[in-house]
């Protein structure tokens, strides 16, 4: 197998090639290591110097993995995209990274991200923005922008991301790859540098649905170190469905109308037609409280973040302000210098929302909205098997286009946040291309959401649609055979 051909293999295909003895894990690792090291999209914050010393054991056969910066990796920089953790090398490895390494997926690189996963464009990274491999003047989405861009560009076979309000699904959509946010609790959060604990969930960013299933299979599981982890009641299996026959697909008007770019909607409706051809029934469903999801999310997530990020105080690790006279100055200067604008904004938002006298009006009310949204989904899933929406209201936007207006950035999460608040699994698959308004074309993502722990059925449906859609992502691959 020659180098360009290696790059054209999906992760699952690479596993098969290694199993068949036609490809060595070291050869594969070296090929990707060289590509990652030559990256010009700023996808990575760290790249391995050499292949792992020990030969990979386990079902993943040594197919290397890119891991979002915010996963702790022992002895390897884990900075969550922040100046305040610049150069921080934790003494331990996140459970999910350790599990995947044990399953045969060694660490290839750490990927760039929005600082503390707060952002939808990857422009909030202390280590500079990531460029979209489809158009380097555009953002890859965020916060898992480095992971998405690296997989789309063929700089890594697959990658780990995290999703709090859309941080896997939205960059997957904007980069034309597959991104899955599992059911909350299916994957351990131990060792993930927290943004919002009640929402954060790790998931795969992959070239196709089969790879997503394969990676997820080795990620799920109860972890004694994470009290909120549940594991998964089913073993995750590789998808095989060819039709959608008998499936009822729900389309909520609240998330598929106003505010969605017409070109995105056109691609979305094209995918719905295809789904019908595959045997699915399309139904209208209501998610009446979903439009309030964004407001609730931007209270709850900053509230948790304001507390989660309190530990970055300059006392034990990370950045420490120099030349201070007292404790208060140590705190304020360290945190002022260490955190970027968006992180500081959200810490202030969250601190305000939790303050005495405001708690009920903000945090309490947002929690009630969250409960209503859970109820909306329960009611909808009594009628349909899955809910379909566009993943992102627009295709990838230009760098700098939205940085001056936080709200224009926040509404990127409009379609993805309700699923995060409900804790249900959702996958984004590329469903076509849409004009970028400048003569080019950019990928559009289709989001499919299902009830808790429906990952196997969700992956099957996504797999059938993926085959029928026949999306070709190879154009984004740098130096690929195509």
Partner 1 sequence: VSAVEYEPVIGLEIHIQLATATKMFCGCALSFGEPPNTRTCPVCLGLPGSLPVANARAVHFGLMIGLALGSELAPRSIFHRKNYFYPDLPKGYQISQYDLPLCLGGRLGDVRIHRVHLEEDAAKLVHVGASGRIHGSDASVVDFNRGGTPLAEIVTEPDLRSAEAAGEWLRLLRTTMRVLGVSDVNMEEGSLRCDANISLRPAGSEQLGVKTELKNMNSFRFIERGIRAELARQEAILCGGGRVLQETLHFDPASERITSLRSKEEAHDYRYFPEPDLVPVAIDAAMLDAARAALPELPAARAERFEGQIGLSPDSARLLAFRTELGDYFEAARSVEVEPAPPAQALANWISGDLLARLAGGQAVAAADGEPGSGADGRGEATSADPSSSRVSPRALAALVGLVATKRISVGAGRQVLDRLVAEGGDPAAIVEAEGLAAIDGGDELAAIVAEALAAHPAAAENVRAGNAKAIGPIIGHVMRETKGRADGGVVTRLVHEQLGI
Interface positions with partner 1 (CB under 8 A): 70-72, 78, 80, 85, 88, 90-92, 94, 189-194, 196-198, 224-228, 303-304, 306-307, 309-313, 315-317, 327, 331, 351, 354-356, 359, 363
Q: 160, 109 in Cβ contact below 8 A?
A: no
The least CB distance from residue 68 to partner 1, in Å, is: 12
The least CB distance from residue 130 to partner 1, in Å, is: 22
The least CB distance from residue 474 to partner 1, in Å, is: 35
Burial (CB < 10 A; 0-12, 13-18, 19+), residue 248, is middle
The least CB distance from residue 192 to partner 1, in Å, is: 5
The least CB distance from residue 60 to partner 1, in Å, is: 23
Phi, psi of 102 (to 5 degrees): -65, -30
Q: Is the CB of 85 or the CB of 426 nearer to partner 1?
A: 85
> One of 68, 120, 420, 428 is an active-site residue; which one?
68
372 is catalytic: no
> One of 167, 229, 306, 454 is an active-site residue; which one?
167
Q: Is the CB of 331 or the CB of 441 nearer to partner 1?
A: 331
Q: Is the CB of 61 or the CB of 68 nearer to partner 1?
A: 68
The least CB distance from residue 110 to partner 1, in Å, is: 13
Q: Is the CB of 194 or the CB of 280 nearer to partner 1?
A: 194
Q: Is the CB of 155 or the CB of 159 nearer to partner 1?
A: 159
68 is catalytic: yes
Q: Is the CB of 90 or the CB of 161 nearer to partner 1?
A: 90
The least CB distance from residue 105 to partner 1, in Å, is: 19
Q: Is the CB of 317 or the CB of 480 nearer to partner 1?
A: 317
271: Cβ contacts below 8 Å, ≥ 6 apart: 388, 431, 432, 446, 465, 469
147 is catalytic: no
Q: Taking Cα atoms as reference points, which of 109, 168, 157 lies closest to residue 12?
A: 157
CA distances from 90 to 70, 197, 370, 429 (A): 11, 19, 34, 34
> One of 143, 188, 229, 420 is an active-site residue; which one?
143
Residues 415, 296: Cα–Cα separation, whole Å:
14
Q: Is the CB of 72 or the CB of 236 nearer to partner 1?
A: 72
The least CB distance from residue 16 to partner 1, in Å, is: 34
Catalytic residue numbers?
68, 143, 167
């Amino acid at each position: 197998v020659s180098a360009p051909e290696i790059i054209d293999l999906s992760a699952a295909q690479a596993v098969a090639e290694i199993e068949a003895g036609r490809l060595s894990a070291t050869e594969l690792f070296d090929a990707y290591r060289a590509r990652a090291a030559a990256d010009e999209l700023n996808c990575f914050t760290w790249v391995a110097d050499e292949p792992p010393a020990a030969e990979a054991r386990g079902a993943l056969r040594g197919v290397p993995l890119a891991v979002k910066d915010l996963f702790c990796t022992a002895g390897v920089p884990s900075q969550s995209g922040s100046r305040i953790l610049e150069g921080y090398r934790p003494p331990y490895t996140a459970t999910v990274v350790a599990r995947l390494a044990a399953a045969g997926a060694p660490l290839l690189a750490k990927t760039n991200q929005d600082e503390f996963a707060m952002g939808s464009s990857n422009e909030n990274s202390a280590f500079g923005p990531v460029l979209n491999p489809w158009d380097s003047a555009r953002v890859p989405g965020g916060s898992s922008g480095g992971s998405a861009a690296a997989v789309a560009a063929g700089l890594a076979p697959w990658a780990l991301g995290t999703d709090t309000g859309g941080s896997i699904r939205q960059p997957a959509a904007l980069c034309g790859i597959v991104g899955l946010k599992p059911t909350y609790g299916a994957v351990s959060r131990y060792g993930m540098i927290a943004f919002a604990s009640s929402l954060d969930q790790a998931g795969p960013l992959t070239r196709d649905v089969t790879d997503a299933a394969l990676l997820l299979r080795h990620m799920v599981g109860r972890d004694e170190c994470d009290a909120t982890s549940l594991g998964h009641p089913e073993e995750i299996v590789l998808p095989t469905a060819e039709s959608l026959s008998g499936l009822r697909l729900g389309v909520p008007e609240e998330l598929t109308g106003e505010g969605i770019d017409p070109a995105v909607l056109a691609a979305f409706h094209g995918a719905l037609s295809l789904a019908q051809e595959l045997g699915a029934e399309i139904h209208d469903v209501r998610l009446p409280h979903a439009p309030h999801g964004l407001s609730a999310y931007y209270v709850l997530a900053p509230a948790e973040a304001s507390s989660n990020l309190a530990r970055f105080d300059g006392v034990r690790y990370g950045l420490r302000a120099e030349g201070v006279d007292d404790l208060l100055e140590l705190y304020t200067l360290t945190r002022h210098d260490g955190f970027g604008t968006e992180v500081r904004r959200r810490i202030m938002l969250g601190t305000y929302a939790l303050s005495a006298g405001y708690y009920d009006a903000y945090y309490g009310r947002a929690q009630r909205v969250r409960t209503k949204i859970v109820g909306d989904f329960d009611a909808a899933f009594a009628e349909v098997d899955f809910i379909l929406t566009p993943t992102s209201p627009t295709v990838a936007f230009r760098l700098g286009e939205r940085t001056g207006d936080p709200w224009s950035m926040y509404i990127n999460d409009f379609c993805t946040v309700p699923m995060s608040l409900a804790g249900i699994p959702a996958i984004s698959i590329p469903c076509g291309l849409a004009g970028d308004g400048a003569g080019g074309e950019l990928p559009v993502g289709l989001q499919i959401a299902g009830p808790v722990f429906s990952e196997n059925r969700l992956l099957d449906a996504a797999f059938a649609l993926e085959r029928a859609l026949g999306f070709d992502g190879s154009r984004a691959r740098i130096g690929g055979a195509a």
